[in-house]
């Protein structure tokens, strides 16, 4: 990209065909051929090269920025998925613990040492945790997709 900016423009080749012969001082002409080359002013090629180099550097910086943004998005998605997996695991453990508390409360209620409210509170808590677990599992499916 920089090298072509520092080179001379392409030379031009011209061809002309005369329908009628043109009479010149050297005789009649049927065809005309020409070759021309443009020469830019002093220092102009160097400046074009420097401008092309700066454009190339800017494009490289844009590429690097896009690459870093993509890496960041991938990391964020991975960490979100990791968090959801750990949250699901912890919530499943909490459901098991609260179910054990529910069983203990039911046993105490049967024996008469606890109130029915303790059993109901444990059942409500189990249902809340199961709902949270379903929500986390749905979020995990969305993140995987």
- Where are the alpha helices (H) located in the chain, listed in sequence order? 2-5, 44-111, 116-144
- Tens of pLDDT, residue by residue over 71-86, are 999 999 999 999 999 9
Closest C-alpha to 92, from 142, 143, 140, 134: 134
- Tens of pLDDT, residue by residue over 37-55, are 888 888 888 888 889 999 9
- What's the confidence (pLDDT) of residue 80? 94
Element holding 1 (H helix, E strand) = none
Given pLDDT bands bounded at 50, 70 and 90, which one contains residue 70? very high
């Amino acid at each position: 990209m920089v090298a072509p900016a520092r080179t001379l423009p392409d030379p031009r080749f011209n061809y002309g065909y005369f329908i009628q012969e043109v009479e010149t001082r050297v005789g009649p002409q049927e065809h005309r051929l020409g070759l021309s080359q443009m020469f830019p002013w002093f220092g102009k090629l160097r400046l074009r090269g420097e401008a092309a180099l700066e454009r190339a550097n800017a494009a490289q910086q844009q590429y690097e920025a896009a690459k870093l943004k993509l890496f960041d998005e991938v990391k964020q998605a991975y960490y979100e998925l990791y968090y959801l997996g750990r949250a699901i695991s912890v919530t499943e453990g909490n459901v098991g613990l609260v179910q054990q508390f529910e069983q203990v409360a039911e046993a105490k209620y049967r024996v008469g040492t606890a109130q029915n409210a303790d059993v109901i509170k444990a059942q409500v808590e189990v249902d809340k945790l199961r709902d949270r677990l379903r929500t986390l599992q749905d979020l995990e499916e969305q993140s995987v997709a």
